[in-house]
Amino acid sequence: MKKFSLNVTSRQVHGRGPARRLRLEGAIPAIIYGKSGNQSVSVKQEDFRTLMRAKGTAAALIDLNVDGKLMLSLIKESQRHPITQKFLHIDIMEIDPKSLMTAAIPVRAVGEAYGVKTEGGTLAIVSQTVNVRCLPENLPEFIEVDVTELKVNQSIHVGALKAPKGIAFPGDPQRVVVVCSEMAAEEAAAEPAAGAVPVAGAEGAAAPAAGAAAPAAGAAAPAAAPAAKK
């Protein structure tokens, strides 16, 4: 399990106005949810951006420095601006290093599915995350799902996952994690028929009637019909 560090600063002023001013100053309003209550803090935009680039999509514990006080934590959720992609708000969860915790861990498929390789199917990760329960020291970065034997019209459920040491999967064991499906109908329709050979330059042209004779070489174009007499 990777571990990172992040400096945050306590803030006493709340509301949209102060939050907007923080963002203009290059900081992000955030809240720490902990056993001793919720705490409002701010994080420098560049510091958090650097952390997220280093962490990637993996789950990771964060050593949080709150005005000089260290705290183990997990980034619960972050919101970004749809255009500028700047972070707007962060939810942080305080972690007790000696107590069991529950967290949503990203799913990562491992191997090439039989149904994709041999049967022309498509693989889809239905559940992007899976909840795990464990001690913080056992928290995995990803839940790896071996899809090698997965055939078309088969799926893998939470109950079939191999739990790493010290980890349990709470929740519905029938929840679908990965599925291998047949090629979508629209994709199949786009495939050319077997043996069909397209005619160059004939796209969109109407086919000639069966048995119609080809015009003689050099034949003049038919004359226009005479105008009707008045």
Q: Are residues 111 and 156 in the same domain?
A: yes
User: Phi/psi zone of residue 199: left (φ > 0), alpha (ψ -120 to 50 degrees), beta?
Assistant: beta
Is residue 199 predicted with pLDDT exceeding 50? no
What pLDDT does residue 36 have? 74
**Total structural domains within the chain:** 2
Question: How far is the C-alpha of 185 from the C-alpha of 193, rounded, in Å?
Answer: 14
Q: Is 43 in the same domain as 107?
A: no
Tens of pLDDT along 2-21? 789 999 999 887 778 888 89
Q: Say if residue 7 is in the same domain as residue 87.
A: yes
Domain membership of residue 43 as a residue range = 3-95
Please report the DSSP string for 78-109 in residue order: EEE-TTT--EEEEEEEE--TTS-EEEEEEEEE
Q: 126 lies in a domain?
A: yes
Tell how strand 61-66 and strand 3-10 pair up: parallel
* Residue 84 within a domain: yes
Judge contact between 63 and 70, C-beta under 8 A.
Answer: yes
Under DSSP, the state recorded for 218 is T
Question: Can you tell me the distance from the alpha carbon of 61 to that of 190, in angstroms, rounded to the nearest whole number?
Answer: 47
26 Cβ contact partners less than 8 Å away, ≥ 6 residues apart? 44, 45, 46
Sheet holding 176-181, edge to edge: 122-125, 176-181, 154-157
Please tell me what DSSP assigns to residue 225.
P
Tens of pLDDT, residue by residue over 73-103, are 999 999 999 999 999 999 999 999 999 999 9
Q: Report pTM.
A: 0.73
Q: Which two tokens stand for residue 6?
A: 């992040």
Planar angle of CA 222, 227, 230, nearest 5 degrees: 165
**Is residue 225 included in any domain, yes or no?**
no
Specify the CATH number for the domain of residue 73. Answer: 2.40.240.10
Distance CA 148, CA 130 (A): 20
